[in-house]
Amino acid sequence: MKKRVIALTGAGISAESGLKTFRDANGLWEGHDVMEVASPSGFARNPELVLDFYNQRRRQLLQVQPNAAHKALVALEEYYEVHIITQNVDDLHERAGSSNVLHLHGELLKARSTGPGSEPFHWAKDICWGDRCERGHQLRPHIVWFGEEVPQMPEAARLTSEADILIIVGTSMQVYPAAGLVHYAPDDTPIYFVDPKPSVSERDFRNLEIYAESAVSGVPKILDALADR
């Protein structure tokens, strides 16, 4: 029976495919305050602005490809049962070939109705004001906005609590509730942290190994190390 690897991934892994990270150093997303484009109140005030923001992100996503870090996590499946828990809303893990991907914050290539009880569905084109579901409700991106529940958190916590090995890639682990997942890992779980500017030190967690480098450089090294075990 294969050991279980849980990989927590964030914007840094996709940035190396050329995908812009949403939030820059001053807290703006593409020049917008996050609450303008990533909150229910922002959508209520200016839905066309919000739809255009995500339409641009979706178009960009369709122009980029998975990188060596995404592919290394796929290759790890030869040796381990690998589950990806990602804060990213792109589909680069899936396109690389990962078998088990859980999206905490939604998916750009899905839409859902603003009406009650709606389920997300595949949507790869622009969402325009006036695009409606069969019941007449406006469509919106399948994105978890600030102030909304993160419905996949219980499953993410369960998976992390069963991790034999934990890999953290391209995330500062500063944004909650996702940042709290690391605390669900069993105490003796080895943790590999990959980030060019690590926000943690080896004093913060037991069994922590830091790769202070890019995802495309660090994750293949972890693959090599774990493949030899």
* Backbone conformation region of residue 5, classed left if phi is above 0, alpha if psi is from -120 to 50, else beta: beta
Is 105 an active-site residue? yes
Q: How far apart are CA 182 and CA 179, in angstroms?
A: 7
**DSSP per position, 109-177:** EEEEESSTT---EE--S---TT-B-TTSPBEEEEE--TTS--TTHHHHHHHHHT-SEEEEES--S-STT
Q: How far apart are CA 205 and CA 186, in angstroms?
A: 11
Contact indicator for 118, 112 with CB cutoff of 8 Å: yes
Q: Which of 147, 146, 199, 127 is nearest to 169 (CA)?
A: 199
**Residue 200 burial class via C-beta count within 10 angstroms: exposed 0-12, middle 13-18, buried 19 and up:** middle
Interhelix angle for 215-227 vs 68-75, to 10°?
Answer: 20
Terminal-to-terminal C-alpha distance of the chain: 14
* Catalytic choice (70, 83, 105, 142): 105
SS3 category, 21: coil
List, by residue number, the catalytic residues: 105
